[in-house]
Structure 1
Amino acid sequence: MPQTAVASALKALDVHASTLAPAHVRNFFAQDPDRFQNFSVSLDDFLFDFSKHKITGETLRLLAALAEARDLPSRRAALFAGEAVNNTEGRAAMHMALRDLSGRPLPVQGVDMRREIEAEREKVFAFARAVREGKLTGAGGLPFTDVVNIGIGGSDLGPAMAARALSPYAKGGPRAHFVANVDGADLSDTLARLDLSRTLFIVSSKTFTTQETMANAASARARVVAALGEAAVGLHFAAVSTRLDKVAQFGIEPSRVFGFWDWVGGRYSLWSAIGLALAIAVGPENFTDFLRGGHDVDIHFQEAPLDKNIPALMGLLGVWHRNMLGRAAHAVIPYDQRLARFPAYLQQLDMESNGKSVTRDGALVAGATGPIVFGEPGTNGQHAFFQLLHQGTDVTPIDFLLAAEPIDADAHHHALLFSNCLAQSEAFMRGRTLEEAKTLLRKEGRSEADVERLAPHKVFSGDRPSSTLLYRRLDPRTLGRLVALYEHKVFVQSVIWDINPFDQWGVELGKELASRLAPIVEDDKASTAALDGSTAGLIDWRRSHQG
């Protein structure tokens, strides 16, 4: 649609936001006893409650008009048709094909990829079964007790997050560990507690050139050689890469190399062979359920009407807060300890995708794009940064993630956890007025002087938005749904902002400069004359304080 339609939709939303500004969301609940039913959506045993946002039916209508003006249905269709929606790199972004178990053709830029996808998946699963069953062993003939995934970014954050989330399902297989940081302490601390003779390493790097990953892989290889001999390398290493030549030079045979395609971005690659460590940890059957969960959401995203479409609603609410209300951050708070790494995973998914300042055509964007994403599991967050979220000067929308029932956890503990989550979401919505604060203090027996002095400190403005994603239990299928929901949320927002969510040019400059600086940092005699004053000064200080 023409830009005039987009501008008109944005203007209507701005006017609407100004009319809602004086309202308080707790009054919406008082006025509408059916507000929860009217502003929540279910997908089987999964519930998305967005009733605590300061929105009305008119808000949703205007957001839908904006989505129509940006041609969201057509852009979504192009994504699922395998078209080159990553326009800057001329590629599709068809990671959804990796979790489609339906048997239908999976065209990617005109080529049906189903046979290739299924063949690679079965290769991953066969290897995972062989490791879990002890058919593949180390140099000493003993089964592997530990698997160390060496990767970074999407090759680490997704598998590490999922392995932690699905830890109750990691029975009968080796323990999974993840090394990403080029800081040698990461590798050293991980290996300090492992028996190398019973440890399998997976090196995850598509090009087998990623600086941090290959530095860690080389160090791990050296340790294996020192402890077990050169011949052990082929038995103790596998790789996820497309560069068979470089993998062979490392000492890994083709039968232990697993690949994926250039239309699978790193932050979307958990569904691919990058999930090998996860498949080994939880087994192919549970990994398949994880894929099914993602596909559930793909179908929902394509078929559900906009007002019942969970990822579309999540994305449009984010646009409402970011562009109409000027909210620069978004918090993700899982009241589920096993989702401790989920916020970090979403940081890459969201901020690397939508942290863009130019449109798909290269023009400067007209407004704000991706928010800062952060989070921590409840209830720890309550005793850390919730003070700012409740009474700080900036309003931050929140997603609460919560299971109805626990897995391998005490029911009493879970009741306390559940109560805390709901109490926080109510507190953010409802708040506490000055008069309510005074009444509370008087009930405590405080003097009138104390009441007047302390009451302002106990006021909570409320009217602070949150969504609750409530699911029956955190099983593999539910995790797949959660990941896919946020993937599609990010896509929806990228369409509204007219940016490409599938490239990441912003990571390139730092990589280039690091490659230039590494030889200078390593060689104490190398000149720093060509560097800026700060960088040169920092290097000189390091040199003078070593040894």
Structure 2
Amino acid sequence: MGDLRAKSWAKISAQPESTLAQLFSDHPDRVAQLSTRFLLSDDGQDEEAGAGGIWFDWSKTHLTASLIDDFNELAGAAGFADMRRRLFAGEVVNPTEGRAAEHPALRGVGRDSSVEEAEALRHRMRMLVGAIHAGALGEVKHLIHIGIGGSALGPALAVDALARDLALVDVHVISNIDGVALEAAFAVCDPQTTLVAVASKTFTTIETMTNATSALKWLADNGVSDPSGRVIALTAAPERAVEWGVDETRILPFAESVGGRYSLWSSIGFPVAIAIGWEDFESMLAGAAAIDRHFRDSDGADNLPLRAAFSDLYYARVRGAQTRAVFAYDERLRLLPDYLQQLEMESNGKSVTAEGAPVDAPTAPITWGGVGTDAQHAVFQLLHQGTHLVPVDFIASIAPGDDLDAAHHRILLMNCFAQGAALMSGRHSDDPARNYPGNRPSATILCDDLDPATLGALIAFHEHRTFAAAVLMGINPFDQFGVELGKEIAKKIQQGGESFDPSTENLLALAGLD
């Protein structure tokens, strides 16, 4: 397989490099060839019947029919079809930890037994969410959700995107161990009407458990007689939550085979369901499941996450792009770049293959981004006239998220589309300072609307895009050992008796930690 993979990469690298302008000139049907409308409905109904959709456009990238053929050959050499089968069959796809990765099963697409288990756990969560909304735990106006990494980034994104004007419960997601973050939530929450959700797969994460302890102290200091009774535990280790003092009826488990950055669909999504209601939470899962089925059942360039991976790897491995930028022209998606940073960089930021051999080319690019139009007045100078090649994804919604004058949204969308056009075409000037070279790639993801189903589909699309890229590179996207070393050293500092490099020793002394 290694030799076949190497031959495929050699063919891809040998492809001629045409400019975007040339590609459009030579192929008048380029937009049709490299754009796809994806319908979110389960039954394939057309948009007149009410289906929402997403338009994916890679025509402003340097993908060509010949490149796609070579990438399809690479997918065959890399065993993509079998790895995809193993993912949905609940087989081991994380060899270093001997685990499956069953986040699709949480959405109803996967091994039957895992889907059934997920449905049972989701029913348990639905009952608790319904009881809270019905007042069974008294008046609940606020939820302080405490987690870190995937236990916080996913809920924060979904709540911020979907619950801005109609939150059933005011949710505050806290991840930073810096007490300033927790105090900010305390300042706007009434302890008498506040629940605390503690999200930790192992229920031992030091940042999360320290914040949780402080939250319980805040409740007690402000007259709550039974602080532990205000806690909801979201964990794959329910026995540890019981030991910590959480009532069994308020523990929402999830499976060990669900990784943190893929856990939004499990009980980690509890704050989302509390904020937007169960029906909308289920719609978010349904949107993700529509992408799951598409990814499972489509082949070659018709498979949208796989096509995105082709583009990503072409720029990272062939054209030497070290970063990939994501700009959401929608304030509701302002946290999407943060979410994708963890998803993509923690998954594919690896230097060895799944077999433990050194990789032979770059793996994950650095993911970064921002919100349009703010970013246009900050980082777009570098994108248009800088020396770095940066592939860009633009994400926008045709329907606005506000009720103001329609001019707001028209200007927003015009700026989004104008930036992609300007990156591609550039503009020649005899004045070097005013010359725009152009030929800079971008893709556009244009949603009909940003509703729960669409958000679910967007997140699942990026999950599978990340997995597809990993398979083509021959790496394991589901472990994250690079996260552990710094934590281990922090524990050694806390325990004392260890020596470190002179710089670290000096910093510890300056901060009074020696």
TM-score normalised by structure 2 residue count: 0.94
How far 1:167 sits from its partner (Å)?
1.9
1:147 match: 143
1:201 aligns with 2:193: no
2:222 maps to which of 192, 205, 227: 227
1:489 to 465, 476, 500: 465
CA contact (8 A) 1:351 1:370 kept: yes
Distance 1:207 1:24 in 2: 50
CA distance in 2, matches of 1:342, 1:362: 31
Equivalenced residues, count: 500
Distance 2:116 2:308 in 1: 34
1:24 matches 2:43 = no
- Aligned counterpart, 2:305: 311
Among 276, 281, 284, the residue aligned to 2:270: 276
Q: CA deviation at 1:169?
A: 6.9
- Choose from 505, 508, 512 the match for 1:536: 505
Name the counterpart of 1:213.
208
Task: Tell me if structure 1 keeps the 8 A contact 2:216–2:228.
Answer: no
Partner of residue 231, structure 2 = 237
| Counterpart contact for 1:168–1:407, Cα < 8 Å | no
Output aligned runs, 1:22-421, within 5 Å.
Answer: 23-44=18-39, 45-100=53-108, 106-107=111-112, 112-137=113-138, 143-168=139-164, 170-171=166-167, 173-229=168-224, 231-410=225-404, 411-421=406-416
Aligned residue for 1:88, secondary structure, equals coil
Q: Which amino acid in structure 1 is aligned with residue 133 of structure 2?
A: R
Distance in 2 (CA, whole Å) between partners of 1:400 and 1:43 is: 17
Paired letter, 1:55: L
Q: 1:286 Cα deviation (Å)?
A: 0.3
Amino acid at match of 2:114: M
Shift of 1:63: 1.2
Offset, 1:333: 0.6
Could you tell me how far 1:128 is from its partner in structure 2? Answer: 1.3
Partner residue of 1:444? none
- One-letter code aligned to 2:335: R
User: One-letter code of the match for 1:151?
Assistant: G
The structural deviation recorded for 1:68 is 1.3
Residue 5 (structure 1) shift: 1.4
Unaligned segments of structure 2, at least 5 residues: 40-52
RMSD of Structure 2 on Structure 1 (CA): 1.6
d(CA) in 2 for partners of 1:244, 1:52: 49
Matched, 1:503 2:479: yes
CA distance in 2, matches of 1:345, 1:321: 21
SS in structure 2 opposite 1:275? helix
Give the whole-Å Cα distance in 2 for the aligned partners of 1:317 and 1:118: 35
Corresponding residue to 1:478 among 435, 450, 454 = 454
- Distance between the aligned counterparts of 2:258 and 2:165, measured in 1? 26
Report the equivalent of 1:442: none
Contact 1:353–1:501, Cα closer than 8 Å, also in 2: yes
Alpha-carbon distance in structure 1 between the residues aligned to 2:306 and 2:212: 40
Q: Distance in 2 between matches of 1:290 and 1:237?
A: 25
Distance across 2 between alignment mates of 1:293 and 1:205: 25
Q: Give the C-alpha shift of residue 433 in structure 1.
A: 1.3
Q: Deviations over 1:327-377 (max 9, x none)?
A: 110001110101111110000000000000011111111111011000111
- Cα distance in structure 2, aligned partners of 1:117 and 1:309: 26
Q: SS in structure 2 opposite 1:148?
A: strand
Q: Distance in 2 between matches of 1:84 and 1:4?
A: 24
Amino acid at match of 2:4: A
Write out per-residue CA displacement over residues 286-323 of structure 1, whole angstroms, 9 at most, x where no aligned residue: 00000000110011112223122110100111111111
Contact kept? 1:25, 1:54, Cα under 8 Å = yes
* TM-score of the superposed pair, with normalisation by structure 1: 0.89
Aligned counterparts of 1:395 and 1:260: Cα–Cα separation in 2: 41
Partner SS state of residue 327, structure 2: strand
Structure 1 residue 57 displacement after superposition: 1.2
CA distance in 2, matches of 1:169, 1:5: 53
Question: For the residues of structure 2 that align with 1:133 and 1:174, how far apart are their CA atoms?
Answer: 12
SS at match of 1:89: coil
Would the alpha carbon gap of residues 169 and 123 (structure 1) be closer, same or farther in structure 2, given more than 3 Å must change?
A: farther
**1:542 Cα shift?**
1.8
Q: Distance in 2 between matches of 1:200 and 1:503?
A: 32
In 1: Cα distance, 2:315 partner to 2:115 partner: 39
CA contact 2:229–2:247 (8 Å) conserved in 1: no
Q: Deviations over 1:388-423 (max 9, x none)?
A: 111110110011001111133432211110000000
Q: CA deviation at 1:115?
A: 3.0
Q: Is the contact made by 2:326 and 2:392 (CA closer than 8 Å) also made in structure 1?
A: yes
Closer, same or farther: CA 132–169 of 1 in aligned 2, 3 Å: farther
Cα-to-partner distance string for 1:173-207 (whole Å, 9 max, x where unaligned): 11111110000111011111211111110000121
In the TM superposition, what is the alpha-carbon distance from 1:210 to its structure 2 partner?
Answer: 0.2
4+ runs of 1 displaced by more than 3 Å?
168-171, 242-246
Tell me the alpha carbon deviations over residues 417-469 of structure 1, each in whole angstroms, 9 at most, x when there is no partner: 000000000001110112xxx5xxxxxxxxxxxxxxxx211111111110000
Which structure's CA Rg is the greater one?
1
Corresponding position of 2:5 = 6
Equivalent runs, 1:508-523 vs 2, <5 Å = 508-520=484-496
Instruction: Return the alpha-carbon distance in structure 2 between the equivalents of residues 263 and 248 of structure 1.
Output: 21
TM-superposed deviation, 1:116: 2.1
